[in-house]
Amino acid sequence: MEEWVMKRPKKIENLKIIEHVGGLYATFDGERYWRIEKWAFEILKLCDGRKSISEIARILAEELQMNWEDVLKGLKPIIEEFERVGFIKYV
């Protein structure tokens, strides 16, 4: 198993998700906002620092009734983007 699937992502403490006019937005300071989809927010909520990426993929696979490997493959770019924009860190 690849090393990255064992990492434990955690949502950054000062990242706030707010709902506004039916949409979800992420912000660190209230000045810059990113619109996020509900499915991305659901993934972000699983990033609690206790679950590995592999475990997150397993939970999503069960909820979506999909193959774990397929979910893991689709989850990789999402987690990488969360890291790139600073929404998560690894613990």
Query: 54 near 72, Cβ under 8 Å?
Result: yes
Q: What pTM value is reported for the model?
A: 0.92
User: What tens digit of pLDDT does each residue of 25-55 get?
Assistant: 999 999 999 999 999 999 999 999 999 999 9
Structural domain including 36 reads: 10-90
- To which residue do tokens 């909520």 refer? 45
Is residue 52 in some structural domain?
yes
Structural domain contains residue 3: no
**Based on the structure, what is the number of domains in the chain?**
1
Q: Which helix (H) or strand (E) holds 82?
A: helix 68-84
21: left (phi over 0), alpha (psi -120 to 50) or beta: left
- The CATH number for 69's domain is 1.10.10.1150
CA 82 vs. chain centroid, Å, equals: 6
